[in-house]
Amino acid sequence: MVRVFMSYSHIDEALRDRLEVHLAPLKRQGVALWHDRRLLAGDALEDGIGTALAEADVVLLLVSPDFLASPACHDGEMQHAVDRHRTGRARVIPVILRACDWLSTPLRHLLAVPRDGRPVTLWPDQDQALHEVAVAIRRAVLERTPLAS
């Protein structure tokens, strides 16, 4: 089973939810999507997030100004994910949700989605942008393992 970790700022939760809808076919095929809202009351935040990130095959960084401003997202999850990407233990996919200075971060070395790193919120049809993101994620997941039909 392929595990996908979603790192995002809670300000962008609505966009994360919309992306998750577009990823529903992958979930039906056995791909496990994880984000911090999967934690249960009483779970240790850092341990739960750290474990899920360490076990992820694919890491989605949902990038926005709030993501870049968040120490937990930028300094914690993003840095850990990029380190795992560099060593081949995970594939990191920057998903540019909203306009921000992501090209001044280590993500500038990675191919971002949607196409050309154009923020999802700047597309006339956000569903089209999220569909393009979902297709790219499917390709990355298929690289890790064939999916059940």
- pLDDT at position 36: 84
Q: Is residue 43 a part of any domain in this protein?
A: yes
- pLDDT at position 38: 73
- pLDDT at position 131: 98
Q: Is residue 118 a part of any domain in this protein?
A: yes
- pLDDT at position 37: 85
pLDDT in tens, the chain (149 residues): 899 999 999 999 999 999 999 999 999 999 999 888 876 667 666 777 888 899 999 999 999 999 999 999 999 999 999 999 999 999 999 999 999 999 999 999 999 999 999 999 999 999 999 999 999 999 999 887 766 55
Q: Which two tokens stand for residue 86?
A: 């560099």
- pLDDT at position 52: 87
Q: Is residue 149 a part of any domain in this protein?
A: no
Could you list the residue range(s) of the whole structural domain that residue 42 is in? 3-144
Q: Is residue 95 a part of any domain in this protein?
A: yes
Q: What is the number of structural domains in the chain?
A: 1
Q: Is residue 70 a part of any domain in this protein?
A: yes
CATH number of the domain to which 53 belongs: 3.40.50.10140
At 30, give phi and psi (nearest 5°).
100, 5
Q: Is residue 18 a part of any domain in this protein?
A: yes
Buried b / exposed e over 121-132, threshold 16 CB at 10 Å, is eeeeebeebbeb
- pLDDT at position 5: 95
Q: Is residue 32 a part of any domain in this protein?
A: yes
- pLDDT at position 147: 62
- pLDDT at position 46: 72
Q: In what order do the strands lie in the sheet with 32-34?
A: 32-34, 3-7, 58-63, 91-96
Q: Is residue 42 a part of any domain in this protein?
A: yes
